[in-house]
Structure 1
């Protein structure tokens, strides 16, 4: 049976794809400057793609894949390895429709992947809600001000940075995969605006990924 995709699953697919594109670029001995030049994009855009950022268009992802010589089969996008079809092989030359494939998408707890994915997914949902409802932004700002008034804390510098993020709506600072973005999410007032039902839905999707989610039925 096909499993319907969820927002968290789709996000994990992009994260996996970005990681593997980065590894394949390095395996081919390409630096970021040379790779960006070959694709015709900026290094910033290339970094976003390798971070699994949903911002770049799918066309830009495909351009990077093309330069790396990767087939567009789903099994190669989300599987454990990325390998181009051998030159001159039947797979490389075939114009027939590809068979359906079965793909397992999962998050690796041993590398804190689950926690990072859960935090990222919660914040992406919170940002979406705040954009649609300014009252929620005020709620987050009130929560932050209450924390700052509570006195000295190891998180004070992060909270002060959050003041600027909320004021200027610079959400990208907290939706990345950098160490700083992770630290900001750990000291975040933003997830407080999430309705409990939304929070539980995200947690359920992440829990499903721990077990592995199967896409496709493997039938030709």
Structure 2
């Protein structure tokens, strides 16, 4: 079983991998984004969110995309009886035969930038979760962004000015995407400064733990973290 402390980062990685897979399937079937969006009944922006593994997008939208691509049948693994406990026998006892175990290997892609992107997204989503429950943290992030703009490297001034606009407008989707510009914004982000150091280090450790993959389903050997490599910075 996966360690509980891995669940949030693992869930995020699963969505990222699902979005990537759906995008590859669409391209393999020769479907452009316009035609695909029309078939699903959504706009292109929503399709981009699905292919980016956006956790805020409704599960029904993911299901419709999967249906159009012909892979919705795979949901039978979750919705069917296979994963339910076996029924009691005539004597009222449980069957001795356990249900089949679904064993999936989930691994963050080996490329360093993929791990960094997962790490960046997770840090920002946690920061936003905390800001929504404690508005004072938003003021802290804005103060940091303004200080950086006043005293920091002029080459990043444009990104920090944009951050001030994002913080004022609450335009969070702009920084949670997987576009190059969203990645640039996250690299110059004041949001992670609102996270306590122990929370930040815990997220870095979780991402590092995914380096060798995590087994889902049944008892399995957990990969050991490579002692020679620390968390991505």
Using the size of structure 2 for normalisation, the TM-score is 0.80
CA–CA distance in 1 between the matches of 2:157 and 2:110? 29
71, 74, 94: which is aligned to 1:72?
Answer: 74
CA shift at 1:111, angstroms? Answer: 5.2
**CA positional deviation for 1:72:** 2.3
Superposed CA deviations along residues 46-104 of structure 1, whole A, max 9, x for unmatched, are 111011111211111111111111122498x9xxxxxxxxxxxxxxxxx7636431111
**CA displacement 1:135-191 (0-9 Å, x = unmatched):** 111111111111122155211110000010111111111111000000001111110
Worse-superposed segment, 21-30 or 35-44: 35-44
User: Could you tell me whether the CA contact under 8 Å between 1:126 and 1:191 is conserved in 2?
Assistant: yes
Provide structure 2 residue ranges, at least 5 long, that are not aligned to the other structure. 84-99, 221-233
Greater RCO (Cα-Cα under 8 Å, separation 6 or more): 1
RMSD: 2.2
Partner of 2:154, secondary structure, is: coil
Q: Where in structure 2 are the equivalents of 1:40-189 lying within 5 Å?
A: 40-70=41-71, 71-73=73-75, 97=82, 99-110=100-111, 112-150=113-151, 152-189=153-190
Q: Which runs of 4+ in 1 moved over 4 A?
A: 2-5
Residues in 2 aligned to 1:218 and 1:73: alpha-carbon distance in whole angstroms: 22
Aligned residue pairs total 201
Pair 1:101–1:74, CA change in 2 (3 A): farther
Provide the rounded CA distance (Å) in 2 between the counterparts of 1:149 and 1:208: 38
